[in-house]
Structure 1
Amino acid sequence: MKVDVLTLFPEMFDGVFHSSILGKAQEKGIVQLSAVNFRQYAGNKHGTVDDTPYGGGGGMVLKPDPIFAAVEDLLQGGSGGGSQTDRKEGHAPEEVSGAAAEASSQAEPEHAPGIDHPAAQVQQGSDSATGADPGAEPAVRRSPRIILMCPQGETFTQQKAEELSREEHLVFVCGHYEGYDERIREHLVTDELSIGDYVLTGGELPAMVVIDSIVRLLSGVLGNETSAVTDSFSTGLLEYPHYTRPPEFRGWKVPDILLSGHHANIETWRREQALKRTWERRPDLLDKLELTKQDQAYLDKLRTASHSSQDS
């Protein structure tokens, strides 16, 4: 998998991309992560990427031209242009300055590389985009998902993480202004994601959350492949409690069943504990699940016990 992040602050990703699970995933060659400063695609000597909104109002709006130019460069095999210093400091490299950048900024919106747009043919191996023999079978490649991080987006869930983990290429767009020019939404991105109903300074921290959640699902990333399967939300339930050595700490003992060695009973206990924790903390999740008769019977027992304690 390849993951690109368009941001004005690529240095924010240095530690995240090279530490812990993400760093190990890159070392193993499972994923390629990069953060690109889209200021280099501004097409002007001042590197201006925002402007005042039409119609008046406060704040600044992210311009469409540098975002479109950056995405189009990535889709055509670019690496964000320039040296490592260019990417961090936002210096405009020669290949996207002057007439080239001006031409890119004037491109028609319908040529944006969203899923349904003609520029996606670059990723699909079309004759016009690759110069291939018209009679040859096209080399089909899936178009990347271009993801805008914003408070208005779809709330990110474990199910969305699993969906995105099956993609080959993801491009995240992170802003730092009052908003995005609406043409970015309408003609470029394929997804809009939010990590919750609150406001942050920019899209960088949400992008880090989403990327970490996706990459850990890729085959070979986690040392124990069952870890991702049994995590909270992967089964639709909150995760059961965990214990390790010592068996007794300050008078608090590990449940006897976990020391019994009886694997079937342990699995039943874990399932019941996951149901109990979900019922207590996130009962809304239970409405979305297909529960077994055993699950329903255990939940009925919890409800009965709860009602009895309230009556006494």
Structure 2
Amino acid sequence: MRIDIITVLPELLKSPFEASILKRAIDKGLVEVHLHNLRDYTDNSYNQVDDYQFGGGAGMVMMIEPIDKCISQLKSQRNYDEVIYMTPDGSTLNQKMANSLSLLENIIILCGHYKGVDQRVRDLLITKEISIGDYVLSGGELGAAVLCDTIIRLLPGVLNDETSALTDSFQDGLLAPPVYTRPAEYKGVKVPEILLSGNFGKIEQWREEKALERTEKLRPDLLQ
């Protein structure tokens, strides 16, 4: 998979891809992540990528021209399955969406800023709009990092145990069950006996019951 991220703050996005699972995936050649500074696609002497909005009002708007130039250049080199815009009013990211995106080959992610982008960008260039929650950030970079993490960890070979992602919360519409590790008893609190029994059939049944119990208590909306 190849992910191209268009941003005005590439330095803000570097660190997530220089550590942990994301770095390992890149080093193993399982994914390519390329950062593109939108200011490199401007023609003005100040590398300006935003301007006042027509009709007046507070907040600057990202101009269509540099965005179009950047996306057009990328598209001239390869085909892209999706051109994604990170925006608070997009479709809320969930596990089902992450699963679907992880099957793609090439994607572009555009990070919004200021008051957003010229609407013509959304109308003409964007194929999918994604939000990571009902709140506003100062830019789309952190949202893009979250999106990349959710996608990349699902790629075959990224996680040491490839079944791990399949048992995460939301994969089957439920929250994950409780998990335990050593010691078997700590300050008088013991690990449930069933997990120490070696009876994997009963252990799976227990996990299913606990996942449902947890979901009913913490996220009943998932069961509707």
TM superposition score normalised by structure 1: 0.71
1:133-148 → structure 2 map (5 Å cutoff): 143-148=80-85
CA distance in 1, matches of 2:134, 2:15: 26
Match of 2:177 among 220, 240, 247: 240
1:1-312 → structure 2 map (5 Å cutoff): 1-77=1-77, 123=79, 143-287=80-224
Deviation at 1:12, TM superposition (A): 1.3
Deviation at 1:196, TM superposition (A): 0.7
Q: Is the 2:13–2:142 contact (alpha carbons within 8 Å) kept by the matching residues of 1?
A: no
Deviation at 1:286, TM superposition (A): 1.2
Residue-by-residue CA offset, 1:166-216 (whole Å, 9 max, x unaligned): 111111101221121000000000000001111111100111101100000
Q: Is the 2:113–2:138 contact (alpha carbons within 8 Å) kept by the matching residues of 1?
A: yes
CA distance in 2, matches of 1:190, 1:34: 19
Deviation at 1:44, TM superposition (A): 1.4
Residue-by-residue CA offset, 1:224-259 (whole Å, 9 max, x unaligned): 011100000111100000000000011110000000
Higher helix share: 1
Deviation at 1:144, TM superposition (A): 2.8
CA distance in 2, matches of 1:15, 1:180: 25
Q: Is the 2:4–2:34 contact (alpha carbons within 8 Å) kept by the matching residues of 1?
A: yes
- Structure 2 unmatched runs, 5+: none
Deviation at 1:74, TM superposition (A): 1.2
Residue-by-residue CA offset, 1:244-302 (whole Å, 9 max, x unaligned): 00000111100000000110010000000000000001111112xxxxxxxxxxxxxxx
Deviation at 1:76, TM superposition (A): 1.8
Q: CA RMSD in A?
A: 0.9
CA distance in 2, matches of 1:182, 1:270: 47
Q: Is the 2:6–2:38 contact (alpha carbons within 8 Å) kept by the matching residues of 1?
A: yes
Residue-by-residue CA offset, 1:84-103 (whole Å, 9 max, x unaligned): xxxxxxxxxxxxxxxxxxxx
Q: Is the 2:52–2:61 contact (alpha carbons within 8 Å) kept by the matching residues of 1?
A: yes
Flag as ranges the 4+ runs of structure 1 deviating above 4 A. Answer: none
**SS of the residue 1:183 aligns to:** helix
1:119 alignment counterpart: none
- Structure 1 unmatched runs, 5+: 78-121, 124-142, 288-312
CA distance in 2, matches of 1:152, 1:259: 47
TM superposition score normalised by structure 2: 0.98
Larger Rg belongs to? 1
2:138 is aligned with what amino acid? T
CA distance in 2, matches of 1:286, 1:256: 28
Deviation at 1:218, TM superposition (A): 0.6
CA distance in 2, matches of 1:204, 1:4: 12
The alignment covers a number of residue pairs equal to 224
Identical-residue share of aligned pairs (%): 50
Residue-by-residue CA offset, 1:41-87 (whole Å, 9 max, x unaligned): 0111210110000011111000000011011111222xxxxxxxxxx
CA distance in 1, matches of 2:108, 2:178: 36
**SS of the residue 1:211 aligns to:** helix
